[in-house]
Amino acid sequence: MSVGVLALQGSFNEHVAALRRLGVKGVEIRKPEQLQSVSSLIIPGGESTTMAKLAEYHNLFPALREFVKMGKPVWGTCAGLIFLANKAAGQKTGGQELIGGLNCTVHRNFFGSQIQSFEAELQVPEIVVKEGGPPTFRGVFIRAPAILEVGPEVEVLANIPVPSNKTVDPNHALENQEENTGEKVIVAVKQGNLLATAFHPELTADTRWHSYFLKMMGGEAGVGTSAVGEELGLEERRSTDLPIFQ
């Protein structure tokens, strides 16, 4: 089994490493014709505007849209979530090109700038049912987007509290709101062959999301036990000295 990982920019190496821990080969994708050699694809986190410009330069958008339309499993993390959304708000002037296919509206940098990056324990009941392990998943949010609304066919897999006076509105950023407790915003969804997370599972030792995605492509037989907090070598450890979001 091999999985394509879009390797234009961002955390594609970390996704390849996570797949390797599950005994699966990650194939770096940079050109349209390379998509023909894989049956699923991960679009990693990174700088979404830069990734979009590089994808346009390599004429990847038509091939990526066709890949999605063919019903092949695609998982977008952080910037990858923005790419898969049908509609994106909070973009830079001029916006950016999207792949689309995921019936949702996403807000770019919803949680603020780089210095507002954080970690949070997420309730992930669907992942626990399918993959076992602890009842929560430690999400790493880096200049993270959030999903403001979803269509009826979209399954919500995880959400996170936001301040009660924070209107889930694409014209406002969380950093401009007073701290409080209140409503929740969506940070993980599944729609048919599409999976999307606003956070970075590839930056943790917990590979349950990767295992879950592999099973979307019928890979149960080829996937080993999910690495839930397993002891890794120093070269694969990640220091995540970020504040816990409360």
Active site residues: 78, 200, 202
Return the ∠ at Cα 85 (arms to 116 and 147), rounded to 5°.
Answer: 45
Strand partners, 139: 120
User: What is the crossing angle of helices 48-57 and 61-69, to 10°?
Assistant: 100
Q: Residue 236 CA to chain centroid, in angstroms?
A: 20
Q: How far apart are CA 70 and CA 25, in angstroms?
A: 22
Q: How far apart are CA 60 and CA 54, in angstroms?
A: 9
End-to-end distance of the chain based on CA atoms, in angstroms?
39
Q: How far apart are CA 53 and CA 46, in angstroms?
A: 12
DSSP 3-state of 151: coil
- Residue 8: which residues within 8 A CB-CB, separation 6 or more? 30, 46, 51, 54, 55, 58, 60
Stretch (H or E) spanning 123: strand 118-123
What is the C-alpha radius of gyration for the chain, rounded to an integer number of angstroms? Answer: 17
Phi, psi of 215 (to 5 degrees): -70, -20
